[in-house]
Every structure is written in C-alpha cells, then in structure tokens.
Chains A and B, each alone.
Chain A
Amino acid sequence: MAQLIQGETGEWEIVIGMEVHAQVIAKSKLFSGASTQFGAEPNSQVSLVDAAMPGMLPVLNKFVVEQAVKTGLGLNSKINKVSVFERKNYFYPDLPQGYQISQYEYPIVGEGVIEIDLPDGTVKEIGITRLHLEQDAGKSLHDQHPTKSFVDLNRSGCALMEIVSEPDIRGPEEAAAYLSKLRMILRYLGTCDGNMEEGSMRADVNISVRKPGGPLGTRAEIKNVNSVKAVQQAIDYEVQRQIEIIEDGGEVDQETRLWDPNKSETRSMRSKEEAHDYRYFPDPDLLPLHVSNDQIESIRTTLPELPDQKKHRFMDDYGLSLYDASVLIAEQQRAQYYEDVANDNDAKLAANWVINELLGILNKNEKKLSESPITAENLSGLIKLISDGTISGKIAKDVFADMYDTGKAAADIVEEKGLKQVTDTGAIEAIVDEVIAENPDNVEAYKGGKDKLFGFFVGQVMKKSQGKANPAVVNELLKKKLG
C-alpha cells in the first residue's frame, strides 16, 4: 500500500526508516545497581557509576542481556554471539560521563523481520536492521527557571534497546502500524512496557522522498516523536516540507530536526550537527559480550506466543477475519478474555460480542478490560443463551446492558425479568392471528403484491410479544398464514 503524494511536478514516494528507543524492563540499571523505578525523587536513584564519578566501573546487568536476546528472538532476528560496547562521545548536561556507552559496530542483535497489519487488511513485512543495548541519559527540565536548567540523573544509565528498521516504511499509516506492532511485541515479551507518555518508548523517524522507484532522496531525522499520532503528523508535515523544497529547485539538507507537538511542525536543530562526530571506540572498561547457543536456546523456551502467531491461530482455529483477529490480539489480556469466551461457544459470535459490544461499552466509559463489570464467564453465559435460542439477539443486547450495570450473570437477569424467548408455536400463532385480524388493509395490500409489508407484520408480532417471540418461528407462521 505504497502511498504516493501528488506534488506539482508529479508523484512522490515516501521512504521511512525508524529508530525506536525502548527502555528495558529490569529492576536495576544497565551498568549499575541503582533502581529504575519511574517517578522517584530527583537524583535518588543514582549510583556513583551513573553520576560518572572518577574511578567508577560499569558492570553489565545479566538480566538486561537476556531481555535483549529475548526481544531479538521475538523480532525474528539473528542473535550475535559476540557484541561489543563502545563509547559514543558528546557533551550534554544530562550525560555526566561525556559519552554514552552503546553498541556500534557489533550490536547484540542483527537482522530480522516483523509483520505489520495495514488498515486495508493487507500484511507487509518490515525489515529490522539491528537492535543494540545502550545507556539512557538523564533528564533536563528547562521550564523551572528563566536562565537555568535543572538536571535529574535518575534515568541516567537505565538500559535502552535501540531498534532500527530498514527503510521499508512507505507512509504515515505504515509507520503507525510498525510502531504499534513493535510496541505490541515488546509488551507480549515483557521486555518493555511500551509506555510512550512516560518516555519508556521513543521514536526517531528518518524521512526522505523520491520519484517512485528512483534513487533515494536526502533524509532528515526527526526526533522527539512520542506518540503514534505524533509520528503520523510529523511525517505528513515533513513530507510536504521536503517536496516543496525540491519542487522549488532547492535541496533537502541532511539534518536532525525536532518535532514540536504544540506548533505541529518540525524545525532544524542545526546546533547539534557539529556534535555528530561521535568518535566511537570500544569501551576499555568492558570486555566483549559473549552469548552462548545454550543461553539463546534456553531464552527461546521462555518466549510467549507472539502477536502474529496468535493472530494466525485465531484466524485458523476460530475462523476469524484478519481484522477481528488483529483487534483481539492487540493486548494479551484481551486475547485471553476472548479465548475464555470463545472456548465452548460459536467463535465468530463470541468475537462480535467482545469487539463490538464489550470493547465498545468499555471504550465509551473509558474503562480498561481489567475493570469490566462483565467477566469472561458471564459473557460466555450470555452467548450460550443466544445460541441455544433461550433469548433473541435483540433481547441479548438489553441483558448485556443490565449485566454491565449490575455485574450479574445473564441467566439470572433473563430469569428475573422473564425474558425467555417464546418458541411455543401455539402461543406465537395466537399473536400472529391477532395481528392479521387487526390489519385487514395491510393483509389485502400484501396479498396484492406489496412484499415489503412482511416486515411490518414481523414487527407487530415482535412488539406484541415484547420481543420475546422466536423470530424464526414468527417468520415461518406469517409466511404460512399470509400465503
């Protein structure tokens, strides 16, 4: 679904690669024993290693290495048995070492691929170039004082995975789908919480434009894009900017630009260009990292069923559409809830009720699935009552609303309110006769060829039965009686 943009001189193709920084879920930092918990008092979770005091030495966190390997496996990527930590040199007040310990030439994870699901129902593969481990920087606050910046080093030294994609992404929708899928995979794996508001997942977007199929254009790197929506907005803005420059006879500068969510524009960060000479070299405090085959295989056994596997299983085993399966697997808990409901029920009917009714009402009330007053067991009970003909689909919606308000089981509500569907042919026949007797004009018209009136008769019978008459029986009797 390559999206082409119409410019004044013809069509343009968008080429995007993404670098996503994901904070690794771990109790302590990459190279120190300080806590990683979010929201602590400033500088209370800083060891002398993180503060870069002279003589302090980094010691690598074993669990973080396992998390990185696990993520690599989840991204269908090659795990590199030898990787090397290097120093990336630059100066900034929230980087006390004067360098960031990162991986450069030899990252822990190499090439891989993930599937993204596009809005038009198609699937596309996006290549993963690499994943490497690195330290996060501290946090600067610029709005607390007119002439000073405040620095908190709590985040300094927390472990990040930088996940780099191939330039396979062709537009804002694909970029959004990529980021969503990546986030989903990390959350399934339990290696990153994917919380973009708290900054535990951040994206840099490399954007260029070219004539379809032509050579790659010069790219700009957009930083500070911190939500799926911002990624789409930043791409839309940046693509227009680049096309205008080229069509006016200019050239796009290869540069770093900053997304400003308030003004909805990108702007140049020229001052950072000079610092781009990072002078990487292997960190002399750290030996090369070795990961053995045994370690990799033992981590592989801890992998959960991943989103795409679950998606395909839902399509194959439950006969769901790609769309329904994609919605249900978006969160592990949602997928589990669905399976609990679908277990011994009509799987497609279960999918409809979970997606359209349950997620719909939760969304409307701004509630999470974990806060749902309707348990999977109770929803399953409701669907059973529909399937075995105890209640009609229409009555079921009223029962559902009651279940949401009261948390009661469907069967109890049906019992209390006497909502059981009437399937007794004799009782329905009496109502049908009544309706026919009350509407001689319409009976005449129907017999004269106004077929559409059939719906009117069904409606009248349902109304008289307070919605409880079995629609199939009503149809059958009416057809017989109206001839």
Chain B
Amino acid sequence: MSLDEQTVRKVARLANIEIADSDVDRIGTQLSGILQWVEQLGEVDTDNVEPLANVVNIDLHLREDEVTDGDCADKVLANAPEETQGFFVVPKVVEQEG
C-alpha cells in the first residue's frame, strides 16, 4: 500500500503534527515502507486461529473501589506551562461547549 499526499496530510492532522509541504513526499514514502513491512503479516494463514490478547495466560487484574490516590494537585500541575488557582491554563478552545 502506498500513501498519497492527501492521506499523508490527513494522518498528520489526526496526529496533531505539523509537516512542511517539502516533507510530504519523503514522509509518504517512509510511511508506505512501514505499512508494506507490516502487511507481510497478512501472508500468514490465520483462519481457524483464535485471537490472542496476551502471550501469558493471566486474567485482567481488578482493584477494589477505594480512594487511594489523588490529592496531589501540585505534582499534577508541576509540568504545566501555565496554571492559576489550581487550574491548567491553555489557549482558548471554544468549539466544544456553548
């Protein structure tokens, strides 16, 4: 599978990555290479094979419903570029809520 320019730009947009026009071709070729490599898995016959979620035979671990964490706003906010009164501060985003 080879990626066209439009698909490369769409993938970049979905991944929130800005790419220069001059890079589109090069990145398209690289992504196509990766896809071709992964597509080799399609050559394996998997008819009648159950999907495998994990290579070791363990069950999903569940925890009890107890409050054991939180109350560490200073740590949570430690890397925030901007904060005020305990809030993260980000450039205004208004499209989702009225």
Interface residues of A (CB under 8 A from B): 26-28, 32-35, 41-51, 59-65, 89, 91-93, 140-142, 144-153, 224, 258-262, 269, 271-272, 274-275, 277, 279, 282, 286-290
Shortest CB distance B95–A (Å): 5
B41 close to chain A: CB less than 8 A: no
Taking CB atoms, residues of chain A closer than 8 Å to B60 are: 60, 286-290
Given the contacts A145-B89, A148-B90, A288-B53, A35 and B62 also touching, CB distance less than 8 Å:
no
Given contacts A149-B93, A258-B98, A279-B14, are A93 and B88 in contact (CB under 8 A)? yes
Assuming A28-B65, A45-B71, A288-B53, is B96 touching A269 (CB within 8 A)? yes
Query: Is there a chain A Cβ closer than 8 Å to B67's Cβ?
Result: yes
Query: Does A61 contact B65, Cβ atoms closer than 8 Å?
Result: yes
Residue B42 lies at the interface, judged by CB distance under 8 Å to chain A: no
Task: In the complex, identify which listed stretch (B20-28, B29-37, B73-81) lies at the interface while the others stay far away.
Answer: B73-81
Contact indicator A91/B16 (Cβ below 8 Å): yes
Beyond the given pairs A59-B63, A150-B89, 11 more chain A to chain B contacts, judged by CB atoms under 8 angstroms and listed by A's residue number, are A28-B65, A33-B63, A33-B67, A34-B67, A44-B73, A63-B65, A64-B65, A147-B92, A148-B91, A271-B95, A279-B14
| Interchain pairs with CB closer than 8 A, number | 148
Which chain A residues border B89 with CB–CB below 8 Å?
A: 145, 148-151
User: Complex Cα distance A45/B73, Å?
Assistant: 8
Looking at chain B's contact residues, is the secondary structure mostly helix, strand, loop, or mixed?
loop
CA distance A261 to B98 in the complex (A): 9
> CB distance A45 to B70 under 8 Å?
yes
Q: Please report the C-alpha to C-alpha distance between residue A47 and residue B72 in the assembled complex, in whole angstroms.
A: 7
Q: Which single residue of chain B is at the shortest CB-CB distance from A288?
A: B53
In the complex, what distance in Å separates the CA atom of A290 from the CA atom of B58? Answer: 11
In the complex, which residues of chain B have a beta carbon less than 8 angstroms from the beta carbon of A26? 65
B68 at the interface (CB under 8 A from A): yes
Q: Kindly list chain B residues whose C-beta atoms are within 8 Å of the C-beta of A286.
A: 60
Q: Which residues of A contact B92 (CB under 8 A)?
A: 142, 145-149
Question: Which 8 pairs show the lowest CB-CB distances between chains A and B?
Answer: A33-B68, A34-B70, A63-B65, A33-B69, A47-B69, A150-B87, A42-B86, A62-B62
Pick from B68, B75, B93: contact of A48, CB under 8 Å:
B75
Q: Is B67 in contact with A287, judged by CB distance below 8 angstroms?
A: no
Q: Which residue of B59, B67, B96 contacts A140 across the interface (Cβ within 8 Å)?
A: B96
| B95 close to A269 (CB less than 8 A) | yes
Contact in complex: A43, B68 (CB < 8 Å) = no
Contact A224 to B97, CB < 8 A, known contacts A61-B62, A142-B92: yes
Q: Is the CB of B69 within 8 A of A93?
A: no
| Residues of chain B with a CB closer than 8 A to A28's CB | 65-69
Within 8 Å by CB of B97, from A45, A46, A64, A142, lies: A142
List, in ascending order, chain B residues with CB within 8 A of A44's CB.
70-71, 73, 86
Q: Knowing A27-B65, A224-B97, say if A282 contacts B53 (CB, 8 Å).
A: yes
A-B contact pairs, 27 of them (CB 8 A): A28-B67, A28-B69, A35-B70, A42-B73, A43-B88, A44-B70, A45-B70, A45-B71, A47-B70, A50-B70, A59-B61, A62-B63, A89-B14, A91-B16, A140-B96, A142-B93, A148-B92, A149-B94, A150-B89, A151-B87, A151-B88, A151-B90, A152-B88, A258-B97, A269-B96, A271-B95, A286-B60
